[in-house]
């Protein structure tokens, strides 16, 4: 298959899956009595077009499946049997079969003797024969879909076996990017000319300065300098103007690229009406789906990731939430329950809701379950609000059901949904009224590439937390901090206070510099809120609120959930983006004594010292943070030369080094350490992206004791290795 054929096939897969989503939506409307004659006509055009495209591409299996599904729909229209359950069930089977074929291998779509297709075709022919209709091919004229008929954008994660995904972009957006890029190219040419002019002025100035003023030439010399200064000012002014124009066009490009990532929420919601219909039938219930805010835009990557979590919430809503039809009728509700999927914008965030009008959550049942399982005490639940009790459902394996089913009730899922949402930089809440229904509220950034953040300056650089979690920032007098045996607290109102921790200590960062706020006796506090939890963090310096473009982590760092990515500021400084939820978890562990709180604990009398030599700031920070958390003193160096200097100046117990570094690489560093008077006894650990027998051999010859590939980095395994090298008798913990 040549490149053109592959491209056409990928486009066909994309459009075919889109047509099937539309067909499912249309058939659901027909089944529910909400569709009219136009609805049937649109469905016929969609299936007919899909059949014709399949035939054109030689995809025989798909062609046969589409042909018989078209026959079924045509029979329904001609005989006015549009709501016949048996017939529609066969139509749904045809749609499912075509969806399987479209997502499978090309060969499966091309086969003339596919057993699944043959079985479907035979059953469809038998059904039509029983209804007294001939099954000869009946075609409807190929008619273009009217412009007024909305087409759902593609949302499939993988439309082809290669794992690539298709995402449509408006032609106007591409034209805008092309036009703006051309304008930037012209402006860059102007900048190059101005740069040449500036270089020429510099050379002329050097000539004038080299000769200097002599005697009566002072006035002339001064005049020439003044002329050069005036010309330089003109060039600088022109460069500033062009630079401003470039920045404007760069912002336009960034906005256009950002819009390219967006898809409508309806493209995600459109997947679920059919799932609700099938599940309700399986459970003997009646359910309908309402969609609101389908035109709200969100990052396509976020929508793709949310597909499975939303399906789980919807299945829970049908299984747990909706009552059987007779129970609903007895309580004055419609026999058919409603699942409402909605989306709306909230600033730079999108709020997605999954709501049902079912039985709602009973806080007492949740409390009894938590007490029975030993998760909470009676005194705990007596103090908890309903939202706090609802949050217990996010505990792993928590379920109020006494029996399980294949649908839900197995105690798995909601914790995974919550962690998925949090990994996207969002949060998840539950709202429920007993007897009226339950709503899951997912609040997520519109884009995971561009985030509103609060940037902080800590001991080791700049860190940021998503604005979504920032409740307020405070400057408080030290005397107002409440200090108890259980830790420190900040009072936010008469009846609300928040536990206070030092963010640098939570992150395991050293604090060799004084508080950077420049106000003795004043503490700077950022208060984070996550649903019902509050957390106050003491920080040295607020840099300010910034919108950052997030860059993905190196693959070997993806397991570190505390960090979601990094961003680059103007001037080249890099910001580490923190996962706010994991900061809450750190504080929770600190409360249990696993981390140092703000006050009351002194440093251990003696600790082992580890030198980390790594030219990547982020990698160095991650290693250092893990080591500090484990109780080690950490020294850092950005290259081999600086690492050797620190080794010679400090008492070091172990060295972790990269190999490819500027000034002095890791091989030469290890050789130099081994030549040192105390270097023979120092364990040397290589931490490198290179993992080949050749590099391992060279590292061993240079004196390395252990080799850790970055791609296989595991925090606990690394700490255990360090502990063993420092103390062979240790089971894994530092001395």
CA-CA distance, 640 to 189, in Å (whole number)? 40
- Reported as a pLDDT band with limits 50, 70 and 90, residue 331 is very high
- Name the nearest CA neighbour of 92 among 112, 73, 106: 73
Kindly report, residue by residue over 171-207, the tens digit of the pLDDT. 666 667 777 777 777 777 777 888 888 888 888 888 7
CA-CA distance, 636 to 657, in Å (whole number)? 10
* Sequence-ordered alpha helix ranges (H) in 340-490: 363-372, 378-383, 386-390, 414-423
Instruction: Show Cβ contacts of residue 217 under 8 Å, excluding neighbours closer than 6 positions.
Output: none
* Residue found under tokens 């996962």: 579
> 411: number of CA atoms within 13 Å, CB side?
14
CA-CA distance, 472 to 632, in Å (whole number)? 34
- Reported as a pLDDT band with limits 50, 70 and 90, residue 217 is confident
- Reported as a pLDDT band with limits 50, 70 and 90, residue 513 is very low
Instruction: Show Cβ contacts of residue 663 under 8 Å, excluding neighbours closer than 6 positions.
Output: 639, 640, 641, 642
Q: Note whether 46 and 193 are same-domain residues.
A: no
20 lies in some domain: yes
H/E element holding 87?
helix 85-103
Q: Last residue of some domain: 445, 479, 498?
A: 445
Q: Over 90: is that where the pLDDT of 361 sits?
A: yes
Bigger pLDDT: 664 vs 215: 664
| Count of CB atoms situated within 10 Å of the CB of 62 | 28
145 lies in some domain: no
Specify the range with the lowest mean pLDDT, choosing from 146-150, 403-407, 701-705.
146-150
Q: Note whether 399 and 277 are same-domain residues.
A: yes
β-pairing, 654-657 vs 609-613, is parallel
CA 367 to chain centre: 32
Q: Note whether 291 and 249 are same-domain residues.
A: no
156 lies in some domain: no
Buried b (16+ CB within 10 A) or exposed e, 595-622: bbbbeeeeeeeebbbbbbbbbbbbbbbb
Phi/psi of residue 653, nearest 5 degrees:
-100, -25
Q: Note whether 255 and 273 are same-domain residues.
A: no
| Count of CB atoms situated within 10 Å of the CB of 76 | 23
Q: What is the mean pLDDT of residues 643-662?
A: 90
Kindly report, residue by residue over 565-603, the tens digit of the pLDDT. 888 886 678 898 898 888 887 887 776 443 333 322 233
Burial of 463 (0-12, 13-18, 19+ CB in 10 A): buried
Q: Note whether 581 and 617 are same-domain residues.
A: no
> 572: number of CA atoms within 13 Å, CB side?
1
Q: Note whether 625 and 566 are same-domain residues.
A: no
| Count of CB atoms situated within 10 Å of the CB of 47 | 29
Q: Note whether 219 and 358 are same-domain residues.
A: no
CA-CA distance, 192 to 567, in Å (whole number)? 28
Q: Note whether 228 and 268 are same-domain residues.
A: no
**pLDDT number for residue 735:** 40
Q: Note whether 427 and 284 are same-domain residues.
A: yes
* Residue found under tokens 């940021």: 464
136 lies in some domain: no
CB 436 within 8 A of CB 357: yes
H/E element holding 497?
strand 497-502
Q: Note whether 431 and 459 are same-domain residues.
A: no
CATH code for position 683: 3.40.50.2300
Beta bridge partners of residue 565, listed in sequence order: 577
Q: Over 60: is that where the pLDDT of 416 sits?
A: yes
Bigger pLDDT: 633 vs 332: 332
What DSSP designation does 319 have?
Answer: I
Q: Over 80: is that where the pLDDT of 135 sits?
A: no
Tokens of 492: 């936010």
Q: Last residue of some domain: 562, 591, 620?
A: 591
Query: In Å, what is the CA distance from 716 to each residue of 593, 686, 722?
Result: 19, 17, 10
* Residue found under tokens 């030369």: 641
- Reported as a pLDDT band with limits 50, 70 and 90, residue 669 is very high
**pLDDT number for residue 602:** 35
Host domain of residue 326: 264-445
Specify the range with the lowest mean pLDDT, choosing from 146-160, 249-263, 307-321, 591-605.
146-160
| Torsion, CA 126, CA 131, CA 137, CA 141, rounded to 10 | -140
CATH code for position 472: 2.40.50.180
Q: Over 50: is that where the pLDDT of 157 sits?
A: no
Tokens of 176: 């805008």
Tokens of 459: 């001991």
**pLDDT number for residue 360:** 94
Q: Note whether 474 and 430 are same-domain residues.
A: no
418 lies in some domain: yes
CB 200 within 8 A of CB 187: no
- Reported as a pLDDT band with limits 50, 70 and 90, residue 90 is confident
- Name the nearest CA neighbour of 431 among 391, 468, 479: 391
| Count of CB atoms situated within 10 Å of the CB of 137 | 10
Q: Note whether 249 and 289 are same-domain residues.
A: no
Q: Last residue of some domain: 260, 276, 291?
A: 260
Q: Over 90: is that where the pLDDT of 297 sits?
A: no
CB 265 within 8 A of CB 296: yes
CA-CA distance, 702 to 695, in Å (whole number)? 10
Specify the range with the lowest mean pLDDT, choosing from 8-12, 133-137, 570-574.
133-137
717 lies in some domain: yes
Of these ranges, 307-321, 556-570, 719-733, the one predicted with the greatest mean pLDDT is 307-321
Claim: this prediction has a pTM higher than 0.95: no
Domain count, the chain: 5
The fraction of the chain above a pLDDT of 90, given in percent, is 19
CATH code for position 374: 3.30.565.10
559 lies in some domain: yes
599 lies in some domain: no
* Sequence-ordered alpha helix ranges (H) in 535-598: 580-591
**pLDDT number for residue 287:** 92
């Amino acid at each position: 298959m040549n490149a053109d054929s592959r491209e056409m096939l990928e486009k066909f897969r994309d459009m075919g899956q889109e047509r099937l989503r539309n067909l499912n939506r249309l058939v659901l409307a027909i089944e529910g009595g909400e569709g009219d004659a136009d609805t049937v006509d649109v469905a016929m055009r969609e299936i007919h077009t899909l059949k014709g495209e399949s035939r054109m591409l030689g995809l025989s299996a798909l062609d046969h499946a589409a042909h018989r599904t078209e026959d079924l729909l045509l029979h329904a229209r001609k005989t006015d049997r549009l709501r016949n359950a048996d017939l529609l069930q066969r139509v749904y089977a045809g749609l499912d079969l075509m969806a399987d074929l479209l997502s499978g291998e090309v060969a499966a779509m091309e086969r003339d003797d596919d057993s699944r297709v043959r079985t479907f075709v035979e059953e469809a022919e038998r059904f039509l024969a029983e209804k007294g209709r001939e099954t000869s091919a009946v075609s409807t004229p190929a008619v273009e879909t009217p412009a007024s008929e909305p087409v759902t954008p593609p949302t499939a994660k993988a439309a082809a076996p290669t794992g690539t995904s298709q995402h449509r972009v408006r032609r106007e957006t591409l034209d805008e990017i092309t036009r703006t890029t051309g304008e930037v190219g012209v402006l860059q040419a102007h900048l190059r000319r101005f740069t040449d002019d500036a270089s020429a002025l510099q050379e002329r100035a050097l000539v004038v300065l080299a000769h200097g003023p002599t005697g009566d030439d002072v006035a002339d010399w001064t005049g020439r300098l003044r002329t050069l200064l005036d010309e330089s000012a003109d060039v600088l002014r022109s460069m500033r103007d062009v630079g401003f124009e470039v920045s404007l066009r760069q912002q336009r490009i960034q906005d256009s690229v950002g819009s390219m990532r967006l898809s409508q929420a309806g493209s995600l919601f459109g997947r679920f009406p059919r799932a609700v219909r099938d599940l309700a039938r399986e459970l003997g219930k009646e359910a309908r789906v309402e969609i609101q805010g389908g035109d709200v835009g969100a990052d396509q990557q976020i929508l793709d990731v949310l597909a499975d979590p939303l399906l789980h919430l919807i299945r829970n809503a049908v299984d747990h939430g909706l009552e059987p039809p007779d129970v609903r009728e007895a309580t004055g509700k419609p026999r058919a329950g409603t699942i409402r999927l909605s989306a709306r914008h909230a600033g730079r965030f999108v709020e997605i809701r999954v709501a049902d009008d079912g039985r709602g959550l009973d806080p007492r049942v949740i409390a009894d379950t938590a007490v029975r399982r030993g998760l909470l005490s009676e005194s705990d639940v007596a103090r908890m609000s309903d939202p706090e009790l609802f949050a217990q459902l996010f505990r792993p394996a928590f379920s109020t059901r006494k029996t399980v089913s294949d649908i839900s009730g197995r105690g798995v899922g909601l914790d995974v949904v919550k962690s998925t949402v949090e990994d996207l930089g969002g949060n998840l809440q539950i709202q429920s009224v007993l007897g009226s229904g339950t709503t899951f509220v997912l609040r997520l950034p519109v884009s995971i590439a561009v985030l509103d953040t609060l940037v902080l300056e800590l001991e080791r650089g700049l860190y940021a937390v998503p604005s979504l979690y920032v409740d307020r920032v405070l400057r408080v007098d030290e005397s107002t901090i409440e200090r108890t045996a259980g830790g420190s607290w900040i009072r936010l109102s008469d009846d609300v206070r928040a536990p206070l921790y030092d963010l640098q200590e939570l992150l395991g960062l050293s604090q060799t510099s004084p508080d950077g706020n420049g106000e003795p006796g004043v503490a700077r506090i950022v208060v984070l809120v996550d649903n019902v939890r509050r957390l106050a963090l003491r920080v040295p310096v607020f840099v300010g609120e910034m919108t950052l473009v997030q860059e993905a982590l190196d693959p070997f760092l993806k397991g570190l959930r505390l960090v979601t990515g990094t961003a680059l500021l103007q001037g080249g400084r890099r910001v580490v983006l923190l996962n706010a939820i994991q900061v809450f978890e750190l504080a929770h562990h600190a409360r249990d004594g696993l981390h140092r709180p703000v006050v009351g604990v002194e440093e251990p009398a003696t600790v082992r010292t580890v030198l980390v030599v790594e030219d990547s700031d982020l990698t160095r920070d991650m290693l250092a943070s893990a080591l500090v958390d484990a109780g080690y003193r950490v020294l850092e160096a950005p290259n081999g030369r600086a690492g050797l200097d620190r080794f010679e100046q400090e008492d070091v117990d172990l060295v972790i080094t990269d190999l490819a570094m500027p000034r002095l690489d890791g091989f030469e560093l290890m050789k130099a350490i081994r030549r040192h008077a105390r270097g023979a006894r120092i364990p040397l650990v290589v931490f490198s992206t290179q993992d080949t027998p050749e590099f391992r051999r060279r590292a061993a010859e240079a004196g390395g004791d252990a080799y850790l590939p970055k791609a296989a980095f595991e925090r606990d395994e690394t700490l255990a290795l360090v502990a063993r090298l420092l103390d062979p008798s240790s089971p894994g913990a530092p001395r």
